[in-house]
Amino acid sequence: MFRRPTDPKEYNYLYGIPGLTAIGGLLAAHSAGVPNIYQCGYLFSSLCCVGGIAGLSAQRTARVGNALGMTGVAGGVVTAIASLNMPAPLLTQAVGLLGTFGAGGYYLGSRVAVTELPQTVAAFHALVGVAATATSIGSFMAHPNPDGLHRVACYLGSGIGAITVTGSCAAFLKLSGLMRKGYDLPFKNVLNRPLFACNAAGLAALLTSPSHAVGLAAVCGTAAASATLGWNITNSIGSADMPVAITVLNSYSGWALCAEGFMLNNPMLTIVGSLIGSSGAILSKIMCDAMNRRIDNVIFGSYAELEGEMAEITGTHTETNVNEVVDGLVNAKDVIVVPGYGLAVARA
């Protein structure tokens, strides 16, 4: 995506050799019936994902970090499929779906322009939310007598997943320039508190009622209320604050994944989900500090307060023209160009 025609040839695909070797060893141990191999596979995948995040924090290690992240995700998928010991027909369906949607993801990813990355990330967050919500509701339906931890995990997975789905869709539409004024919900300025109250009532009903039907209604109702809340909040955020909204949604998707880990008793989902959730929250805090804004000001669309006193405007402005700018550039000893997202969109 960022490669220039004059860049030297690279061989980043060679990073896949140790990853494929490790995954091949996992499958060989699975075929041999080695005990506890699945826990080892989850540990390997979790460490790769943690190492991937660490590698992406510096430019010189970004390629290695990217390779580690892909290896960790691939190892986690293979370990999960192997641990289920599915019959051949079901395994064929699962592998066929993975191949089909994997090819679709490669097709879409290979055609994304650099300036379209923010809305692409938002769209992928929506897919994570769909998976978390569907899995949470399905898991609750599959367990007639879930314990307290499973109930709470299903509630959190469905609620956080649903708010991620609609919030990410709203962010995608805004960043793609497809948002229209008619997309506002009725009474949008007074909806947030009642929706929060509905979620609190759903959690209370889920924890106090032994009825499975009541619990399922609470989980589904929470998903509906959270979906409405996610759309209403994100749709009300200004377009200039969308980068912060994206990082917040990234954090949401991680916490939904973490809830799924407790729900499915999968340590890799818990580890990776908490990693994504915390890193997204930290990044949101850093971006808000850079804008001298509080996170609640950004998320709830309030510009009422800024930290510190407003700077006093003093001095006089200096006007220039094209010829003067050209002369300045020609005669300058050093020129520093600081590009940003605006310049990228303008193709400057």
DSSP assignment string, 20-89? HHHHHHHHHHHHHT-TTHHHHHHHHHHHHHHHHHHHTTSGGGHHHHHHHHHHHHHHHHHHHHHHHT--HH
Lowest mean pLDDT among 157-166, 188-197, 247-256: 188-197
Tell me the whole-structure pTM to 2 decimals: 0.80
Chain segment 174-217, per-residue pLDDT in tens:
888 877 666 777 777 778 888 889 999 999 999 898 899 999 99
Q: Which one-letter DSSP state was computed for residue 104?
A: H
Lowest mean pLDDT among 44-53, 91-100, 201-210, 297-306: 297-306
Angle at 244 between CA 121 and CA 278, to 5 degrees: 80
pLDDT at position 118 is: 84
Lowest mean pLDDT among 165-174, 230-239, 248-257: 230-239
Q: How confident is the model at residue 42 (pLDDT cuts 50, 70, 90)?
A: very high
Q: How confident is the model at residue 311 (pLDDT cuts 50, 70, 90)?
A: low
pLDDT at residue 112 tops 60? yes
Q: How confident is the model at residue 116 (pLDDT cuts 50, 70, 90)?
A: confident
pLDDT at position 274 is: 92
> What average pLDDT does range 19-33 have in this prediction?
92
Chain segment 62-100, per-residue pLDDT in tens:
989 999 999 999 999 999 999 988 999 999 999 999 999
Written as six digits, the tokens of 135 are 């899995």
pLDDT at position 307 is: 53
> What average pLDDT does range 24-35 have in this prediction?
91
Angle at 57 between CA 56 and CA 62, to 5 degrees: 35
Lowest mean pLDDT among 45-54, 77-86, 111-120: 111-120
pLDDT at position 308 is: 58
Is residue 166 within 8 A of residue 133, CB to CB? The reply is: no
Chain segment 7-18, per-residue pLDDT in tens:
888 888 898 899
pLDDT at residue 302 tops 90? no
Residue at token pair 């009532």: 201
